[in-house]
Amino acid sequence: MAEDTRWLDHILAANRHFQSRIKPSVLPVKRVPGSVGVITCMDPRVNLEAIGVPQFAESGETDSPIRIIRSIGAMPEGRSLVIGTFLAGIREFAILMHTDCGCCLAFSKVDTIIDNLNKRLSPEKLATFRAEIGEPFRENLIGWLKAFEDPRDAVRTEIRSLRTLPYVPEDIVFHGLLYSLESGQVEVVVNGYEK
């Protein structure tokens, strides 16, 4: 993207290019039934091809039934789990965390986050946010962010946490995986088939 180009202009230009090369007749408009889903980080460095999620074809086509939920740190919100489980029919999730995650950085740089909150929020908004988080603010903020030091521990903790939610059925399978940004290798941290 050129430095003088606004992002929205870039988005619209990219869409025009996309529309010029695709075949609208093959775009995935029908919902494909599927029982598996990936919960992964919003970080664009996580390449889902590493776990068998196919890229879209040049024509715009895909036949992948795998649902993808992206959130910071691969920690989904309840709405995604309820709709994924009880409407889309997901029965098995892979929680795919990765090395060099922003949640690790947030853990080590929480004071930078606090400094930036102080700089960018109005005093009223900052006071409201601090009241929501509670005291001790720094420690509570780390918990609220779900920031962590070790992604392997984090994936185990997240799966234990998901299992306690009242809307997660007992028969849902959760696998915990760690994707190495450096090598593309996927490590099994939690095998959901093993009880």
- pLDDT, residue 1, reads 61
Q: What is the mean pLDDT of the chain?
A: 95
Domain 7-101+148-190 -> CATH class: alpha beta
The pLDDT tens digits for 85-117 are 999 999 999 999 999 999 999 999 999 999 999
**CB of 57 closer than 8 Å to CB of 91:** no
Lowest-pLDDT range of 19-28, 42-51, 183-192: 19-28
| Beta strands 173-179 and 186-190, pairing class | antiparallel
Q: Which helix (H) or strand (E) holds 182?
A: none
Percent of the chain with pLDDT over 90: 88
Lowest-pLDDT range of 1-15, 93-107, 165-179: 1-15
**CB of 180 closer than 8 Å to CB of 98:** yes
Q: How far apart are CA 115 and CA 105, in angstroms?
A: 15
Would you say residue 42 has pLDDT above 80? yes
Instruction: Supply the pTM of this predicted model.
Output: 0.91
Burial of 117 (0-12, 13-18, 19+ CB in 10 A): middle
The pLDDT tens digits for 128-148 are 999 999 999 999 999 999 999
Would you say residue 2 has pLDDT above 70? no
- 164 or 55, greater pLDDT: 164
